[in-house]
Amino acid sequence: MTSAHDPGRIGPNAVIRVAEALRQVEGQPMLERVFHDAALAEYLSHPPTDMVDEREVATLHRVLRTTLGDDRARAIGWDAGQRTGDYLLRYRIPRPARAVLGCLPAGAASRLLVSAIARNAWTFAGTGRFSVRRGRPVIVSIDGCPLCQGAVSDRPYCDFYAATFQRLFARLVRSETVVTEIGCQATGDAACAFSVAW
C-alpha cells in the first residue's frame, strides 16, 4: 500500500502503447520529441517492463497535448488505449475466460468483466480509487485519475482509458459497445467517469 508521499505506479502499457501509437501516427521524430520533452527518452531504448510512476504517465499526456494540440493528442490517446485493450485480450485474459464471456448474455458478461476490471484496477488507477455503478449503462469511475494530475482542460482528457474500456467491452460483451467519458477531473469534475453502453 502506498503512503501519501509515495508515488502511485501503473502498468507499463500506459507508456509503451503511447510510444507505439505516436510512432505509427506521427512518425519517429515526433515520438522522440515528445518523449524527450517528457523526460522519458530512456524508455524509447529501454521500454519499461515493470510498473511505472504514475507521474511519468501524467507528464507524458500533458506533453502530448502541448506538443500536438488537443485533437491530435486525443487521437494518440485513443489509439494507445485500443492497443492496450488488444494487449490485455492477447496476454492477460485467458482464452477460456474469453470464450465463456462470449457465450453469455450481455448483462452477465458485463458483470463478470467489470468484476475482473475492478480486481485489477491497481494496475491502471495508481493512487486513484476505482468504482463501478452496474446497470445500463455501466458507469466506471476513477477518483484521483493518474492521467489528470496537474491537467486542466475544457474537454474530457482520458481517451486512453475510454478506448481501453471500449476495446474490452466490444470484444467481450457486445461489439456495438460505446464508451463515453461523461466526467473528467481535468475539466473540474469530482472524478473521471465513463459511460459504457450497448
Q: pLDDT for 137-173, tens place per residue?
A: 999 999 999 999 999 999 999 999 999 999 999 999 9
User: What gap in Å lies between CA 76 and CA 89, rounded to an integer?
Assistant: 20
Could you say which residues of the chain have pLDDT below 50? Answer: 1-4
Our count of domains for the chain comes to 1
CB of 161 within 8 A of CB of 194? Answer: yes
Return the pLDDT at 1. Answer: 41
User: Does 1 reside within a domain?
Assistant: no
Residue 81 is assigned to a structural domain of this protein? yes
Record the pTM: 0.95
Judge whether 142 lies within some domain: yes
For residue 114, is it within any domain?
yes
Domain range for residue 102? 9-197
Helix residue spans in 47-187 (DSSP H) = 54-68, 70-91, 95-103, 106-119, 159-172
pLDDT at 7: 77
Angle between helical axes of 70-91 and 159-172 (0-180°, round to 10): 40
**Cell numbers 507528464 correspond to what residue?**
59
Question: Would residue 2 count as lying in a domain?
Answer: no
CATH number at residue 112: 3.90.1520.10
Note the pLDDT tens digit of each residue in 135-145. 999 999 999 99
The x, y and z cell numbers of residue 52, run together, are 511505472
In a domain, 109, yes or no: yes
Residue 59 lies inside a defined structural domain of this protein:
yes
Q: Cβ–Cβ contacts within 10 Å for residue 10, how many?
A: 24
Rounded distance between C-alpha atoms, residue 161 and residue 140, angstroms: 10
49 assigned to some structural domain: yes
Cis peptide before 137 (omega within 30 of 0): yes
